[in-house]
Amino acid sequence: MSGIDDLERVLPTLRAQRPDRSRGIDWAEYARALGTDVPGDYKELSEAYPTFTVGGFLIVGTPRPGNEAASARAKLDALDVLEDLAEDDMAGGYVPYPRPGGLLHCAETSSGDLFYWRTGGADPDTWPVVVSTRNDDWWEYDKGLVSLLAGLISGGVTPLGLPDPFLGDDRTVRVA
């Protein structure tokens, strides 16, 4: 079972939003504009779904086919807050991408909790996800973004510094 299957199992309303075919993202263009490749689970999620929100709380942005460069720039622009925190020594010791081992934005909540990949190494599939909560908790998860989201939603991953339960009762999925 893939991570997408796990996410759809714990969030059945997501599956109903899935297009009939792959979205056709130009991953080479996206990587060129971003300056790096991204993990395979994120690619799989992005091919299955456009940007979506869950419960008006969780926001998962995915590249738009035909606008990969702009999508990559938006992901890089999302690092401005982290840059400010790092300059003030308030980023849990992390630095933003493109610095070596820097964080690259991958998801967020409407409450200001941020999810990043900690880049580094030749294989993006080995990058852990770093969670930065609005309560200034910083922690890592090493099984990928999609697995983390499925675990937070199912309760299988302890939501350190995040709401518990993670989504509450509202699991309404909206796609962009």
Above pLDDT 90, what percent of the chain?
91
> How much is the average pLDDT of 101-111?
97
Under the banding of pLDDT at 50, 70 and 90, the label for residue 140 is: very high
Number of domains in the chain: 1
Which domain CATH number covers 24?
A: 3.40.1580
Range of the domain at 166: 3-175
Global pTM value = 0.95
Beta bridge partner(s), residue 132: 114, 138
Residue 2 above 80 pLDDT?
no
- Residues 156-163: contacts with CB within 8 Å, 24+ apart? 160/131, 160/133, 161/113, 161/131, 161/133, 161/134, 161/135, 161/136, 161/137, 162/109, 162/113, 162/131, 162/133, 163/57, 163/111
